[in-house]
Amino acid sequence: MERRDFIKGIGLGALAAGLGKSVRAQEARAPGEAPGKAAEKAPPSAGDDFKITFLGTSHGNPTLERFNSSTLLEFGGKKYLIDAGEPVSALLVRQRISPADIDGIFITYPHGDHMGGLVMQFVQMASFRRHDKDKYQDRRCQVLLPGDDVKKSIADTMRILRFGRGIPDYCDAIGFGDGVIFEDGGLRVTAIGNDHMKRRADGSARAYSFLFEGAGKRIVFSGDLSNTFDFPYAVIEPGLDLIVCELVHFPVKLVVEGLRDKAIKHGCFQHASNHYCDVVHGKERFAAFSKQLTFPAELVDDGTVRTV
Ligand SMILES: [Zn+2]
């Protein structure tokens, strides 16, 4: 099959399969309405859910069962990526989602296992857009990168690899720091710097955790943390519906002590060491850890889907 047909086939296959309400919502538009209007959604209501699909859950190196860090978050009819470790664009295709349908990308920090797939995500976004120009002509993608220096590096990489003149012009690329970095359609994202990476000379962080808030729900993605487990404790109150937390850079007793009796409803742990990902003993080892926590927790796999 020619590449062009393959790309078209994926797009049509995704629609035909009716892949969930957000995909259907993006296709629905009134007769005569401009294609781009389909991307403008009403603000999410109190009943809206966050759907989280864990694409890659490895600890930094790919394993037989796990790819590098990337998570798909769907909310209010839009699709977002948290981190873009490789092979994120391929994993989207395997979810029957066009890489061009991503509305926003949030990168926690500039290491290869968290953004090594970003260039190919841009390349595939361009390919899929080319094959359905009407659908995508007014669509934009917000790209939130941890600092202007990271934004410049990605743009340079695109040029060096001859993937266009930099970050695609239909992307709004922003280098962020601490604070609210995104607000759209009822979703608010706050970045909280941590000390996983050495800070810049001006004291600004290079690595971040994210708080996602929408429809009355609150979720923290830890990103990678320091060896002191510098979880963003300050944003736990008034309660978190979910934490998505790494489990490799610190003694786990710091997790047990730090999160004890905190207002957390559920924990999804990922980016865990081989000690927990071991296919023979990992489950029992994780169970021994999680029973010390004061909230229910699980070790998620590539392909795990959770709704909050
Ligand atoms: Zn990492």
Structure tokens at 59: 């600890």
Report the DSSP pairing between strands 217-221 and 104-106. Answer: unpaired
User: pLDDT tens across 76-93, in order?
Assistant: 999 999 999 999 999 999
Instruction: Tell me which DSSP letter residue 48 carries.
Output: -
Residue 31 C-alpha to ligand 1 middle, in angstroms?
A: 46
What's this model's pTM, rounded to 2 decimal places? 0.85
Domain layout of the chain by residue ranges = 3-28+48-307
Residue 82 C-alpha to ligand 1 middle, in angstroms?
A: 12
pLDDT of residue 181 exceeding 80: yes
3-state helix, strand, coil in the chain (%, to 5): 30, 25, 45
**Among residues 221, 215, 276, 211, which one has the least CA distance to residue 248?**
276
Confidence of residue 38 (pLDDT cuts 50, 70, 90): very low
Which residue is listed with tokens 């990902």? 277
pLDDT of residue 228 exceeding 80: yes
CA distances from 16 to 6, 20, 96 (A): 15, 11, 10
Residue 90 C-alpha to ligand 1 middle, in angstroms?
A: 19
C-alpha span between 221 and 181 (Å, rounded): 14
Least-confidence region, from 144-148, 165-169, 244-248: 165-169
Residue 270 C-alpha to ligand 1 middle, in angstroms?
A: 10
What was the pLDDT predicted at 20? 33
What was the pLDDT predicted at 22? 34
pLDDT of residue 147 exceeding 50: yes
CATH class given for the domain over 3-28+48-307: alpha beta
Q: How many CB atoms lie within 10 A of CB 297?
A: 23
